[in-house]
Structure 1
Amino acid sequence: MGKIKKKGTSGNAKNYLSRSQAVRKLQISLPDFRRLCIFKGIYPREPRSKKRVSKSSTPSTTFYYAKDIQYLLHEPLLAKFRDQKALAKKISKALGRNEVGDAARFEKNLAPKLKLDHIIKERYPTFVDALRDLDDALSMLFLFANLPSTQNVPPKMIARCQRLTMEFEHYLIRTHAVRKTFLSIKGIYYQATIQGQDILWLVPYRFVQMAGPDVDFRIMGTFVDFYATLLGFVNFRLYTSIGLVYPPRFDLKSEEQGAELGAFQLEGEQMEAQAEAVGMLDVDAHDKAQAQADRLLEEADPEQIGEPQSSYMTAPETAEQQDTDMDDTLVPADQSQEGTSQTPLAALDEFASIDPKADTLLQPGLTADADVAGKLFEPFTFFLSRETPRHSLEFLVKAFGCKRVGWDNTLGEGAYCNESDTRITHQVVDRPELPLPSPPPTDGEDEGEVVSSKSNVRVPGRTYVQPQWVWDSINAGKLQRADLYAPGATLPPHLSPWVKPKKGQYDPTVPLAEQETALEAEQEAIAAEEGEDDVDEGSSGEEVEGVRGDEEVEALEHSLLSGNAITQGEGMDVALADSDSESELEAEPIEDDEFGGFSSASEVDEEESATTAHQNELLAEARGETIDEPKITKKTRIAAAKSRQTKAEREEAEQKERQKMMMPRRKRKMYEKMVYSNARKDEEAEELREKRRKIEKGKAGRA
């Protein structure tokens, strides 16, 4: 007989540990265990069967891998946590003996400092790994940078987040790495491309943030500590990669006066300017030396010029030299050595789809995106009005090439100009339509000269746009029409640059007539006809000349109710069918070729309703009563248009039903879910188109 295995020593029970077991094994408190797991990137795991994993009668809810807990046993931070626990005991004993000075001294001198540098190096062995995990870090740090200081969120944490995020924004401004941005309900989305990695983060609007009681700031603060260390490493690597000194010089006085981005001074610009000046001097010296050599060559006797020199100049390139030139083509144009040929960028492969109905394949982007982005707003001078989001607009216009941005002095120092400066080309406002000044200012003013103007008066020669113009121009990659974004104008739809419209879905940028279905077009035509040709509801119809006798009326009623044949000639002659005719009709055989199939329920109902209406009309005419004209309402016509199906549509539906019957049950359920979700999307698109149709009709009516 084999040895009986003890429960919990093999299988899934050995691979998993509950949270209480992990805390006892590490000998730390639950809050410290949570902090350690956040720092090390260890998260709870869901086993397939909790009953098999549980080692006790009470079922646990949170499990971890046993190997992860074993890995935490060798973490140096455990010693720091134990030192903090020992220090807390000393401070509590000192306070119990009323030794407040000793307690303060213990907290100041003996508090262990946690360093997460080794954890950053462990979790991100390469710099690309750190960039890929930067989305959540930026979103969290930008969130805490905009929070007010409270008991749970100390001012030091907020100041640290603000400084790190603005340092990252300075790098984006310098390298023109921002690609897309979007104004949403949650906040402002930004996307930047750094070393081939797309980074997307969310920045909340600068409103007063009210933190709810259900938010655990201890856990969020732990994430902030880790993300702040990570962003510090990333900023250092990014700054040194472009030749800047990190950290940049920070002016605390300018920051207190609201300079924000202007409080940082990037060191390295002066060094580059000096190097550029030295380079220009070298170029000038080289040109002078070359000109002198050419002049001496022209003055010399041609016979004294040796042939070896001419043969050397005309000799073909060697294989080694050709290889060198090929390597030089991989160097960017601004870094290529003097004398190498400036070759254009290699053409990228374009992936064409074989199926025309398939989704559009993403094409590779060009490497010149930074150059294009750096020249979008370069020739302009912006002024940001008080009501506009100054920080986000300043960051975006500078990231896309603008170096001259001004704002009101009350918002903070560091502005390039004030509102009355004549060098301003674009002013971003979020107010109603601004009137022109009366009288207009005189012409012939010098550049940079101050013009007396008010904030609610339009300055001639200056383009006024709403803030959305900046975002839409960035997403489109080109400047949009400024008249569509004028103050007081109805703005175009602001769409997400990451969502591409698909076939059948609503697209605000496409005219309504191009995307509505055939049924919607028919309903719109019916509605237009009903609006133009309204039927007079007060008309009483036609009146029959003459009155028929009671006998004739009774015979007509009897014939209609009994279903006999009716013949209409000059008068109203009624012929009752005898039994012989009925028997002949019943005995007449029906040929197989004339069978037209079974009629649908809707077709039978339509035929019966038409027959009943005709009978009622004949009865009213026989009695000498007025005949009301049958009025087909708009609702009836639309319902008929919806129920009408072509033969091809019916055949296609039947074919799909037959194919669905041949599917396995699991795939059939999946297909039905897909059909249901597509139908819901079609309904939402139809509602949006109907809403847009009503808005356009309202605009046309007001016009």
Structure 2
Amino acid sequence: TSSAASLQAAPSKMTKMKKKFTRGEATTFISRKQALKRLQLSLNDFRRLCILKGVYPQEPVNRRRVNKGSSTPKVYYHLKDIQFLGHERVMQKLRDIKAHLKKAKRAKERGEMHTVDRLQRNFPAYTLDHIIRERYPAFEDAVRDLDDCLCLCFLFSRLPKERGVPVEQIRLSARLTVQFLHWVIAARALRKVFVSIKGYYFEADVNGVSVVWSVPHQLGLHDPADVDFKILRTFNDFYTTMLGFVNYRLYSSLGLAYPPALANEVDPSDYCQTGEAHEEFMASLNQPLLSRRGGEAEGNPAEPDDFPDEEAEGAEAASAARRKARAQQRLFNGCRFFLNRETPRQILCFVIRSCGGEVSWSPLSGPGSRYPESDQRVTHQIVDRPLGDSRLSGRAYVQPQWVFDCVNSGSLLPTGDFAPGLPPPPHLSPFAAYSADDADGGDEAAQLPYSATRSAPPDPVELRRPSAAAELEEEDDYEAEDAAKRETAAADAAQVGKQQKNQKKPSVVAEGTQRRTQDAKQAAAEERRLREMMLPKKHKQLYKKMVFSRKRQARESAQLAEKKQKRQRTA
């Protein structure tokens, strides 16, 4: 009895049972289906809201633990991100739009067209200004994220006006991108240019940050079936709002009026309507902008101070970069260009004016022409097809690649190798570093098709007054070059014939040696194949990547060597 009483008097020390999946990763993440149920949104609205707010799916460390022991593949989000989305006021606007569409559909089915018109006029709209200020609290944050913004906006500006994308969105993207290009011209901020089959790649210095973007070629595009334009349109809505904020800040830093206005009054030509004259002349990129004070905002931008007694690390490199930037800003000063109709007018005008040059073209090609082709002050005429005898004296005829290579090298290159009808030198990318074996020579100047260490180009002013002696000397040079080429071809043919004549028939001993060498190579290849089969699975993937990388490097080296041989043969 005493033992039973002691057991009844003892306090209970039983602990609370811990249940599985009630803490840790199981409560940190939430599936997409649960998020849709919590926010009461459709899948399309949820995707749009996530894109606007910058919320993306997360990958948990242990998926089975998050999914409560199940291995079913699901899309997970962070629980705090979903709670963050629940306080967004755009979500209520999305619900209003959904209800508005239901009302319009019901009124249309009933035949109440006056109600449909009223609902269309009062369609609910939302703005993204507060989201831009929330995601980019500082201007530098927006500039660092400007690459994707510019690429997508330039892509939308080149899209055809089809059902996939509204026309208003295409025009807005085109207007904002043209405004950004005008700022680059006014600030002389262009640094690199590269042309590829995908489009044009540019690099500009925006408030000390290198921004790289691409511009597609002006070609006829088709509507791809495997691209979801709804998602791209949502990204474009966000990026156009962001680019508007950035353009306003950049224009204010240079003292330009925003929205931009032309400094000179333009007359609508016969090739555009009166209401579209301003947009057409702005898109030509060949008109000066109006400043806040009411005058013409053109000229050299403010240059950074150069302190010669800097002792910080990298001071010499920074000083060299500043000197190169100043040289690029004045690269085409004093040069007047005329563009033929087959050249990319907008791209060339943007590049030339960003480096201080003047551009014009035929009025039949489009609005924005400044002077005619017969102007005696023209120093360079850019053509992209062979010319006959219709050449004007006093100017150099070059291909469009000459302009791009001049910008990348930082100096005016010789125009002889870029003459119309001749194969131009290789157009190497300034965004990639080349080794000494990939180009002619081993110095840094050989990384580009031409360098400033070559002979200095003639003065553009002297090109206008060629003398008769210079023309005769040029003709003699052409004749001597043709004669040298004929002699070289004859010598090569004689050498090949001599080698074929002196070539001996293979002997039996040579055939046996060749057979043994071939058998040894086959045995080595078989042994290598067996060794590859014995590799573990985790090492086999790494080995395949290494082999692929080596083959790609060998292929690129072979292509560069072939280009080098072609240049040596044509030189």
Aligned partners of 1:249 and 1:264 also within 8 Å = no
Alpha-carbon displacement from aligned partner over 1:14-59 (angstroms, at most 9, x marks no partner):
1111111111111111111111100001111112232222259582
Partner of 1:128: 140
- Which structure is larger by alpha-carbon Rg, 1 or 2? 1
In structure 1, the partner of 2:240 is: 228
Q: Report what 1:383 is aligned to.
A: 338
Aligned partner of 1:174 among 163, 186, 190: 186
SS in 1 for 2:84: helix
Whether 1:422 and 2:376 are equivalent positions in the alignment is yes
Q: TM-score, normalised by structure 2?
A: 0.75
Per-residue deviation, 1:680: 2.8
In the alignment, is the contact (CA less than 8 A) between 2:93 and 2:126 conserved in 1?
A: yes
Higher deviation after alignment, 407-416 or 247-256: 247-256
Residue among 88, 101, 116 paired with 2:114: 101
Match of residue 680 from structure 1:
551
Letter of the 2:340 counterpart:
S
- 2:172 is the alignment partner of 1:149: no
The change in CA–CA distance for 1:112 and 1:389 in structure 2 (over 3 A counts) is: same
Deviation by residue 1:626-653 (Cα, 9 ceiling, x = unmatched): xx977869x97xx89x99xxxxxxxxxx
- Which residue of the partner structure matches residue 408 of structure 2? 475
Aligned CA-pair RMSD = 4.0
Q: How does 1:66-105 map to 2 (within 5 A)?
A: 66-105=79-118
Whether the 8 Å CA contact 1:248–1:265 is kept in 2: the answer is: no
Aligned residue number for residue 393 of structure 1: 348
CA contact (8 A) 1:178 1:399 kept: yes
Match of 2:283 in 1: 260
**Distance in 1 of aligned mates of 2:347 and 2:303:** 32
The 2-side partners of 1:264 and 1:23 are apart by: 51
Matched, 1:407 2:361: yes
* Distance change (3 Å), C-alpha of 1:29 and 1:212: same
Question: Which residue of structure 2 lines up, in the alignment, with residue 572 of structure 1?
Answer: none
What is the CA–CA distance in structure 2 between the aligned matches of 1:432 and 1:672, rounded to whole Å?
50
Supply the distance in 1 between the matched residues of 2:106 and 2:541 (Cα, whole angstroms): 66
Relative contact order, higher structure (CA 8 A, sep 6+): 2
SS of residue matched to 2:211 = strand
Q: Give the letter for the 1:397 counterpart.
A: I
* Matched residue type, 1:424: V
- What amino acid sits opposite 2:423 in the alignment? T
Aligned-partner Cα distance in 2 for 1:410–1:132:
40
Are positions 1:461 and 2:394 aligned together?
Answer: yes
* Equivalent residue, structure 2, for 1:29: 42
Alignment of 1:655-670 (within 5 A): none
Report the 3-state secondary structure (helix = DSSP H, G, I; strand = E; otherwise coil) of the residue aligned with 2:322: coil
Name stretches of at least 5 consecutive residues in structure 1 with no aligned partner: 277-331, 337-341, 353-360, 436-456, 516-527, 540-627, 644-664
* Pairing of 1:341-380 with structure 2 (within 5 A): 344=307, 346-347=309-310, 366-380=321-335
Pairing 1:286-685 to 2, within 5 Å after superposition: 344=307, 346-347=309-310, 366-402=321-357, 404-435=358-389, 457-502=390-435, 506-507=438-439, 533-534=499-500, 676=547, 679-681=550-552, 683-685=554-556
**Contact in 1 for aligned 2:336/2:377 (Cα 8 Å):** yes
Question: What's the offset of the Cα at 1:407?
Answer: 0.6
Aligned counterparts of 1:231 and 1:171: Cα–Cα separation in 2: 12
Q: Tell me how far apart the structure 2 counterparts of residues 485 and 269 of structure 1 sit (CA, whole Å).
A: 42
* Aligned residues of 2:64 and 2:70 also touching (Cα < 8 A): no
Percent identical: 39
**Alignment-derived partner of residue 113 in structure 1:** 125
Report the 3-state secondary structure (helix = DSSP H, G, I; strand = E; otherwise coil) of the residue aligned with 1:46: coil
Q: Deviations over 1:483-540 (max 9, x none)?
A: 110111121110010111136x6336769xx99xxxxxxxxxxxx999854465788x
Are residue 59 (structure 1) and residue 72 (structure 2) matched? yes
Tell me which amino acid in the other structure corresponds to 1:119: I
Looking at structure 2, the residues matched to 202 and 97 of structure 1 have their Cα atoms a distance apart, in angstroms, of 49
Paired with 2:400 and 2:246, the residues of 1 have a C-alpha distance of: 31
Is residue 186 from structure 1 mapped to residue 198 from structure 2 by the alignment? yes
SS of 2:214 mapped into structure 1: strand
* 3-state DSSP of counterpart to 2:205: strand
The answer (yes or no) to whether the contact 1:258–1:411 under 8 Å persists in 2 is no
Letter in 1 for 2:155: L
- Distance in 1 separating the partners of 2:54 and 2:186: 32
Measured in 2, the distance between the counterparts of 1:121 and 1:474 equals: 36
Gaps of 5+ in 2: 1-13, 267-274, 448-493, 522-535
3-state DSSP of counterpart to 2:284: helix
Residue 45 of structure 1 aligns to a residue in which SS? coil
- Distance change >3 Å, CA 689–CA 407, structure 1 → 2: closer
- Amino acid in structure 2 at the alignment position of 1:157: Q
Q: 1:263 to 1:185 in 2, by over 3 A?
A: closer
Q: Distance in 1 between matches of 2:92 and 2:40?
A: 11
Tell me if the contact between 2:438 and 2:561 (Cα under 8 Å) persists in the aligned partners: no
Q: Alpha-carbon deviation of 1:261?
A: 3.3
Q: Which amino acid aligns with 2:252?
A: T
Secondary structure in 2 matching 1:393: helix
Displacement of 1:374:
2.3
The alignment status of 1:196 with 2:208, answered yes or no, reads yes
Q: Distance in 1 between matches of 2:97 and 2:344?
A: 44
Q: CA deviation at 1:673?
A: 7.3
- For residue 56 of structure 2, what is the aligned residue in structure 1? 43
- The residue aligned with 1:620 is none
> Is the 2:440–2:564 Cα contact (8 Å) retained in structure 1?
no
**Pair 508,59 (structure 1): closer, same or farther in 2 beyond 3 Å:** farther
